[in-house]
Structure 1
Amino acid sequence: MSPSPFELDTLIHLIASHPQLRAKTLTEVESDGKLYPVICAELGSEQANIPCIVFIGGVHGVERIGTQVQLALLSSLLTRLAWDSQLQALLNRVRVCFIPILNPVGLAKGTRCNGNGVDLMRNAPIKAVDGVTFLVGGQTISAKLPWYRGKAGMERETAALVSYMRDAINNSSSVIALDAHSGFGLSDHVWFPFAHQQTPMADLGRVYHLKQLFESSFPHHNHYRFSPQSLIYRTHGDIWDYLVTDTAKGDVPFIPLTLEMGSWAWVKKNPRQLFNFAGLFNPQKPHRYHRTLRKHTVFMHFLMDLAASRSIERLNPQQMTQFDRLARQLWYEQ
């Protein structure tokens, strides 16, 4: 029987210790005779039609650092709530949601896939329009090979996230999502849809505005490379592509972002990590681990502040046209 990962125990402890956290189980998945919950914890306003930000982690179980970064932020917010009047005021104007362990079985077993061998980020019912990289873009050959898409529809974890995000979009004035991953490149990336095609998403101008605000407001924290994921590689079954396509005709601004932490930099500084599968995706040295927990806090706080400000909601048609044009010049006219 697989033991509970310590990250899941940490989340359950935070919920038990802080009654202001509104927690619910989105689904449960079974493995080796044990049930693992997929838990969402919410802070802030419960009113409808307010901005919402959702932090997601643990889609790939081996990428533990994404879950740990988000649990560190959640723990900090809960501690500060006891005395920080500015944070208290912020949470009156925004709803902040955490789903830090979408794939608890993968986290417990140290695998990228879930308990059925399915890669959850290749599992949504959307197929690439343009060509994808062999295997990496998602395959239906065998669960014994990586990047398996599955053949029986959405997995319980995927369906639970899709359902939760649809409800968030239907009951909020805007939604920003940040999905934390690790394992690609020497740099930290912030990707956004699409991954299944090279055409721009409808809210491209809003993404450009977000990027512009962050880089001008925090010039000394600008270590992220923003781009549509299709410029890096294309895939089938991307959850965020599916949700953006599913909600394209709605009037609620929806900006899903993927934080891809550049784990190759950790391997470069400590080549012995090559001999440890988890070391390909997570910092192994304590000082690099703690630095990573600190490194992304500014960006996550920025997203909370941006959501609460409603800046992405209040763009007029002229501004949207201008930002869309600049975004296309930057990302699509190369």
Structure 2
Amino acid sequence: MKKLPKLFLISLRKIFKSSKFILILLPVLICIVFLQDLKASEFEEIYARVWVSSIQEKGKLLAERGLDVDAAGPDWVDVVIDSQRLDDLLSKGYDVEVVFRSSQERNQALFGKDWDLQFHSYSDMVAEMEQAASDHPDILILDTLGYSVQGKMILGAKVSDNPDSEENEPEFRIIGCHHGNEFMSVEIPLLMLEYLTDNYGSDPQVDHLVNDLETWIIPMMNPDGRTYGTRYNANGVDLNRDYGYIWNFYSPGIFSQPETKVIREHGMKNNFSISLSFHTSGDVVNHVWNYRDYPVADSAFVVDISEEYGSYNSYWVVEGYQWYQTFGDCNDWSYGSRGDIDATIETDNFDIPNVWSLNKDAILAMMERTDDGIRGTVTDRITGEHLEAMVTCMELGQPVFTDPEVGDYQKNLLEGTYTLKFSANGYQDTVISGVAVKGRGGATALNVELESGSEFYATHVISCYFYDPFSYPNNYQNNPTNASATLGLPDSTFASLGKGGHIELDMGENTPIVNFPGDDFTIYEVGPTPDGYNVYYSELPYGGTWYSLGTGYGTTSFDISSLSTDTIRYLKIEDDNDGSATELYPGCDIDAVTHPREPVSVPGDVNADYLVNLSDVIYLANHLIKSGPPPTPFEAGDVNCDCEVNLGDVIYLANYLLKSGTPPVPIQECECEYRF
């Protein structure tokens, strides 16, 4: 127990003399002083090594639900456990060697009694970042992205030549300290922040990176864990198992902790191209996937930049799964849900100058690679408004997203020729082929304008879990699909959820499912054979209640008129747990979720395609002369507002389009009763 400060004791004596109730208050005051320390001791952290004699035994161990794996080798797995899990592993016959009985024992053994003084504390980190922002206000702003369990700030520093503005530039991110006892993971981000700010104006490479990129540095995302020198946050949760992509009960829930919510919300506001998450201990470049042994869609680029990073320091470059399997980690969520190529960099946890020397140039190289490929903006063809859009390289499949504020995108690609599809909610897809990429040294510019369309669709994967019946090292051998296949309009590309698996989708902040007459949305289930599934909705993306909406089989449409809400933003689809878990493409196969655009009245839009052009003239003439389909709605055909739909409207609309005549009159301005 810490000693009470001398001045604090003197103050207590003065209070004691002046108040007869101090005997009641004193225990309360002492509890307040030590509350933080008591909180840290609530959770056991036993560091142990489990020796395994075969790949089968290793696979069996990794399949233990909720087991917190720290590292692995050919014949061993390092785990962080409590006494109950230790007894459980021993009872199952595992060869378990306890290395440290607590985080404090570990820290003192590795770093000595003054372990906390060898690295930046939370207060040191705050002071250093505030000083950097004060010294370099022209290229750095400091933002409190959110707060930890115990209310400590999670600080992010944005480094750019116009840090107060969101610009049309590639974005790069560095995160440190998912695990509070991985002290070096704080030091490297802070040193990079110092390097960029101190060398701006004198180093041409730094000038380029600051002027042409937006870089976010988040040195300490787990300040509570760092304060106590523990792996976990103040709730005893491993934050790097709390993300939503292939989450599998390794934390209390999907994005259950305030710290991971902060990273998700920040990631949703920024379209990061490349990210680095620093960890210890080991000399490793760990790239996606971590949950399965299957090349990611962008494997060529991912492996290329990972090997380049390793070329600077001889770190081992490995797909995460091939090292050891994890679920619900930051890398897989960043890539699987956001298209951000995020790698874990494992460094030594000692000798700051040496680790910095090994990683500085490698980090700078990754920043340089952020602009490789194709980049541009996506806008509305008519208004020029920047759109929140999805960009998919058709040869690869995994989408990236535009910045929600500026509308710019960055698709990292190696040299070659590609076909890109551009999609935005309520707009028609646009496909552009023959786009040449020169490789390194700058991106090919491609700005795209989209035409309005008639349907909305799911825009983001919040979370997912695809059930898998196999064990390490053969997980997901029958399911090569990706969750992002559920986004966008139907295209026959699907995500197989696995038997009993599920996916949670965001229909968009401004484009929720809306209750209209008739069916309100459709789930396209398009696999080899029709499958059944359950559908739920919620008011929150995570942490809320999921209410049943009904069941589907194959492609099914749903009407929400009987619900207590008129709009739905968050949707959950869960396989009905029927069928074989080992078949190819197991479980239901979800291609898309769409719903009609809210009916709007566009003057002159006779055929309801949200455009006004000669097709409307032809459509109306065909209705009047050849008994073709009527205008939608019928009154949309009365473009001259004379309370009749006749050939005069055809002539009026043609004159407007071809000779810049008087524009069509909005329906709401015509107070007419029409005869159908």
Q: Structure 2 length normalisation: TM-score?
A: 0.36
The amino acid across from 2:268 in the alignment is R
Percent sequence identity over aligned pairs: 23
Tell me if 1:176 matches 2:274.
yes
Greater strand share, structure number = 2
Tell me if 1:259 matches 2:345.
yes
Flag the structure with more relative contact order, 1 or 2, with Cα contacts below 8 A and sequence separation at least 6: 1
Inter-CA distance 209–37: structure 2 relative to 1 (3 Å threshold) = same
Q: Is there any run of 5+ residues in structure 2 with no aligned partner, and where?
A: 1-32, 37-120, 375-411, 419-435, 438-473, 475-676
297-306 or 47-56, larger mean C-alpha shift: 47-56
Give the structure 2 partner of residue 154 of structure 1.
Answer: 256
Give the structure 2 partner of residue 16 of structure 1.
Answer: 134
Q: Is there any run of 5+ residues in structure 1 with no aligned partner, and where?
A: 129-137, 141-147, 249-253, 264-281, 321-331
Give the structure 1 partner of residue 188 of structure 2.
Answer: 69
Q: Note the 1:192-203 alignment, pairs <5 A.
A: 192-203=287-298
CA distance in 2, matches of 1:205, 1:244: 14
The amino acid across from 2:276 in the alignment is L
Q: Note the 1:33-52 alignment, pairs <5 A.
A: 35-45=151-161, 46-52=165-171
Q: CA deviation at 1:247?
A: 3.2
2:416 to 316, 323, 330: 316
CA distance in 1, matches of 2:254, 2:174: 27
CA-based RMSD of the aligned residues comes to 2.7
The amino acid across from 1:235 in the alignment is T
Give CA deviations for 1:72-121 in whole Å, capped at 9, x if unaligned: 11112111114334422332211111011111111111111111111100
CA distance in 2, matches of 1:47, 1:314: 27
Question: 2:285, 2:317 within 8 Å by CA — same for their partners in 1?
Answer: yes
Secondary structure of 1:207's counterpart equals: helix
The amino acid across from 1:179 in the alignment is S
Give CA deviations for 1:170-196 in whole Å, capped at 9, x if unaligned: xxxx61000000024xxx111112112
2:211 to 89, 92, 113: 92
CA distance in 2, matches of 1:213, 1:152: 33
CA distance in 2, matches of 1:209, 1:50: 22
Q: CA deviation at 1:245?
A: 2.0
The amino acid across from 1:305 in the alignment is E
Give the structure 1 partner of residue 365 of structure 2.
Answer: 302
Secondary structure of 2:276's counterpart equals: strand
Q: CA deviation at 1:211?
A: 3.7
Inter-CA distance 182–234: structure 2 relative to 1 (3 Å threshold) = same
2:302 to 203, 207, 211: 207
Q: Structure 1 length normalisation: TM-score?
A: 0.70
The amino acid across from 1:190 in the alignment is V
Inter-CA distance 4–299: structure 2 relative to 1 (3 Å threshold) = closer
Secondary structure of 2:211's counterpart equals: coil
2:177 to 32, 38, 58: 58
CA distance in 1, matches of 2:140, 2:184: 22
Inter-CA distance 112–90: structure 2 relative to 1 (3 Å threshold) = same
Give CA deviations for 1:5-40 in whole Å, capped at 9, x if unaligned: 423332233223321312211111242xxx310111
CA distance in 2, matches of 1:152, 1:201: 23
Question: 2:313, 2:358 within 8 Å by CA — same for their partners in 1?
Answer: no
The amino acid across from 1:125 in the alignment is G
The amino acid across from 1:209 in the alignment is D
Inter-CA distance 199–162: structure 2 relative to 1 (3 Å threshold) = same
Greater helix share, structure number = 1
Question: 1:126, 1:236 within 8 Å by CA — same for their partners in 2?
Answer: yes
Give the structure 2 partner of residue 6 of structure 1.
Answer: 124
Give the structure 1 partner of residue 354 of structure 2.
Answer: 291
Instruction: Flag as ranges the 4+ runs of structure 1 deviating above 6 A.
Output: none
The amino acid across from 2:279 in the alignment is H
The amino acid across from 1:177 in the alignment is S
Secondary structure of 1:24's counterpart equals: strand
Higher alpha-carbon Rg: 2
CA distance in 2, matches of 1:222, 1:124: 29
Give the structure 2 partner of residue 269 of structure 1.
Answer: none
Secondary structure of 2:279's counterpart equals: strand
1:232 to 300, 320, 323: 323
Secondary structure of 1:106's counterpart equals: helix
Question: 1:56, 1:102 within 8 Å by CA — same for their partners in 2?
Answer: yes
Question: 1:66, 1:182 within 8 Å by CA — same for their partners in 2?
Answer: yes
Tell me if 1:112 matches 2:212.
no
Question: 2:178, 2:221 within 8 Å by CA — same for their partners in 1?
Answer: yes
